[in-house]
Structure 1
Amino acid sequence: MIVITFVADPAGRAGPADRVVAVERGRVLVVGGGIGGLSTAIALADAGFGVRVVELRENLHSSVYGVGIIQPANALRALDAIGCAEACLAAGYATTAWGRMLDVDGNPVRDMPGARIPGFPPMNGLTRPSLHGILTDRALAAGVSLCYNTTFTELDNGRDGVGVVFDDGTEDVFDLVVGADGVRSQVRRYVLREDLRPVYLGQSAFRVNIPREPEIDRIILQHGPGGIVGFVPIGPELAYLFYNTTWPEGRRLGRDELAGELRRHLAPFGGLTARVRENLADDAEIVFRPEEWLIAPAPWHRGRIVLIGDAVHAITPHLGQGAAQAIEDGVVLADCLRRATDLDEAFTEYTGRRYERCKLIVESSKAIGEFEMDPAAHPRFDHAGLTQHVLQEMALPV
């Protein structure tokens, strides 16, 4: 099959590609233009597929939700496979160790070295817009078609292709569809049972960008009486603060309430947190969101439709592995499709290589969150030890 692809520029305008891409393996629709969707699109395009990405939001920047992002060594390895690791390292802040734990007063308690993968630092931090820009540029260079302000209304999972009706009334047929549309996935219902939903952990998180203090040269975790504060370097002069705390499900805060609420929660802390708290402006751009988890049962495909990322393994942020696992999904899926002669065989191998790895991350992140909410109920819980174990497992081949 020969397909002429058309590339959308970052503003969402469609235009002819600079080059004609010969596609022998078929046409793929990726639903969702976030980190997982773009990574999968790049990996599939590099494998010889013609790829179209549809993103519900209206442009490149509106699909970026959050402040900064943690890239463990295994994320960098996966990004290297799609030609993006070097740009991420250049745009971010690479560390020499994973992290350090402090007590509520700011005194060091324990270091966390992290896992080593040859050629990569234990962790790189960068802003989400930077990562999204890097992935978008690489996708366009690979010949991927990006269509913003677009989604589907119907999928017909047929024997010879997936018929797709888009929200503007147009129709098309693709050889396969990848659901990369996140924790509220609309593609998921075509693969798994209708009532499958993410579970609220009981915690919510505040996040805000701050100037990087000199000691924020790795992830810094400071345990307190009502939650845990974290600091992540995401550039030479920039870091972000996060605060995980027990939170009633459904309770919302107005934008003008966020800074004051965060200061109240940070009041018991000394040291680094106290210094940052005093400089937190009332109009700081704070992101606040609930923490949810999901590990969907296998298989993660039905017919010609397959799911990746948060659509099947929503991960709370306690190990910084949510984006890493979504990127790995895309790399592994493309590898399976490249080598297999049968679509069902490829999808089955993909889930087989991903399921236990993602399950470990989901369950370990959930366990850390439960400990943070009620340390007294888990007196023998080893936060740093579990983190180190998981990071070492993630350093193993995917």
Structure 2
Amino acid sequence: MSRGSVLIVGGGIGGLSTAIALRGVGYDVNVVELQADLHSSVYGVGIIQPVNALRALDAIGCAEACLAVGYSTTAWGQMLDVDGKLIREMPGSRIPDSDLPPMNGLTRPQLHKILTDKACEVGVAIEYNKTFTTLTEGPAGVGVVYTDGSANIFDYVVGAGGVYSTVRPYVLREELKPVCLGQSAFRLNIPREPEIDRIILQHGPEGLAGFVPIGPDLAYLFYNTTWEEGRRLDQDKMAVELRERLAPFGGLAGRVRDKYVNDPAQIVFRPEEWLIAPAPWHNGRIVLIGDAVHAVTPHLGQGAAQAIEDGVVLAECLSSHSSHEEAFMAYSERRHERCKLIVESSVAIGEYEMDPAAHPDFDHAGLTQHVLETMIQPI
């Protein structure tokens, strides 16, 4: 017997994870996604899955599939200087009595397909090229009018549409906009060099290069650099710009620069933005998850992890409380401080990368380890 009906607005990582988790506790779930299909709704190159993400994925039956196609590591990473010499090991953390690795990397299309396949397997209805125009809460639930003119009523609506969520204004009284960090990231898939068997961070004079394994033969390069808000960079100039910014590097970053940074069409470039919404994250029968309430810069690899955790916790709360008001309050209480730590720590790392001289006592590796150890605590 169904517990009720849920509409999820947004078919990304958080939306699909939430859909699977809610089906697991007995809800009928519909997902609407504005993009035209599975593939057009995937952004970026690869994705980091820290152990807490793997634990949440395990809870919805998807961890094994991710580990099978990705690259599992025995430690979180290493920190190198501009010449490629080791500065510090970064062990990461493990969950007690668990065989899950400290980190797994895979491509974003792989993760999206795993989640989509699982959602369909458990009976989630997914519609692409569709979203809503209005939400109206009434005694029978939330009335939804779609962009195609059709309408329906659901017991609950989950806003999982990302940092520019169109559901968010229905929940938060104040307008909330993401904050530009002042940094942008270049990303490029590359063949996996042998030493990329964990996350490798290489500090340069004006930016940070990093490498993440995302398959037996595949990795990605990222480069975080100070970037003026609003400054545009044409796609055909991406490779030249990235090579110039990597010019001071030796070691791994230097070799990757010379061997693989050639085709501008393969480079993904994104500004880094963040936000943390005040709790509670619901209004009546409408609730928010993921980047809609806690957009995270990529410095700790926790953005997707926190969205997946949101879905698991939301399903647990709805299945264990007698009313949706109690459930949604419990969800916000369990999630807010945890997500706030991730957002603020990621911003602190980004600010340090942009101006190390202004933060002489900042411990990049130490803060990363602290967050990773905190994340293995129960969600």
TM-score bracket for the superposition, by shorter chain length: over 0.9
Unaligned runs of 5+ in 2: none
Alpha-carbon shift at residue 282 of structure 1 (Å) = 2.7
CA-atom RMSD in angstroms: 0.7
The 5 Å alignment of 1:232-381 reads 232-279=212-259, 280-381=261-362
Alpha-carbon shift at residue 254 of structure 1 (Å) = 1.3
Tell me if the contact between 2:235 and 2:265 (Cα under 8 Å) persists in the aligned partners.
no
The 5 Å alignment of 1:178-257 reads 178-257=158-237
* Partner SS state of residue 210, structure 2: strand
Output the amino acid matched with 2:6: V
Equivalent-residue separation in structure 2 for 1:311 and 1:283 (angstroms): 31
* Partner SS state of residue 165, structure 1: strand
Output the amino acid matched with 1:305: I
Alpha-carbon shift at residue 158 of structure 1 (Å) = 2.0
Instruction: Answer with 276-285 or 188-197: which moved more.
Output: 276-285
Equivalent-residue separation in structure 2 for 1:159 and 1:260 (angstroms): 59
Alpha-carbon shift at residue 193 of structure 1 (Å) = 2.8
How far does the alpha carbon of each residue in 1:199-247 deviate from its partner, in whole angstroms, 9 at most, with x for none? 0000000000000000000000000011000000000000000000000
Alpha-carbon shift at residue 24 of structure 1 (Å) = 1.9
How far does the alpha carbon of each residue in 1:337-370 deviate from its partner, in whole angstroms, 9 at most, with x for none? 0111111000000000000000000000000000
Alpha-carbon shift at residue 284 of structure 1 (Å) = 4.7
- The answer to whether the aligner puts 1:142 opposite 2:103 as a matched pair is no
Tell me if the contact between 1:104 and 1:222 (Cα under 8 Å) persists in the aligned partners.
yes
* Partner SS state of residue 192, structure 1: coil
Equivalent-residue separation in structure 2 for 1:284 and 1:212 (angstroms): 20
Output the amino acid matched with 1:306: V
Equivalent-residue separation in structure 2 for 1:109 and 1:384 (angstroms): 10
Match for residue 58 of structure 1?
A: 36
Of all paired residues, the percent bearing the same amino acid is 74
- The answer to whether the aligner puts 1:32 opposite 2:13 as a matched pair is no
Unaligned runs of 5+ in 1: 1-22
* TM-score, with structure 2 as normaliser: 0.98
How far does the alpha carbon of each residue in 1:112-170 deviate from its partner, in whole angstroms, 9 at most, with x for none? 00011122000000000000000000000010000000000000022330000000000
Output the amino acid matched with 1:210: I
Tell me if the contact between 1:159 and 1:303 (Cα under 8 Å) persists in the aligned partners.
no
The 5 Å alignment of 1:78-117 reads 78-117=56-95
Alpha-carbon shift at residue 255 of structure 1 (Å) = 1.2
* Partner SS state of residue 105, structure 1: coil
The 5 Å alignment of 1:65-76 reads 65-76=43-54
Tell me if the contact between 1:340 and 1:346 (Cα under 8 Å) persists in the aligned partners.
yes
* Partner SS state of residue 234, structure 1: strand
Output the amino acid matched with 1:87: A
- The answer to whether the aligner puts 1:396 opposite 2:374 as a matched pair is no
* Partner SS state of residue 290, structure 1: strand
* Partner SS state of residue 330, structure 2: helix
How far does the alpha carbon of each residue in 1:40-85 deviate from its partner, in whole angstroms, 9 at most, with x for none? 0000011100000000000000010000000000000000000000
Tell me if the contact between 1:158 and 1:303 (Cα under 8 Å) persists in the aligned partners.
no
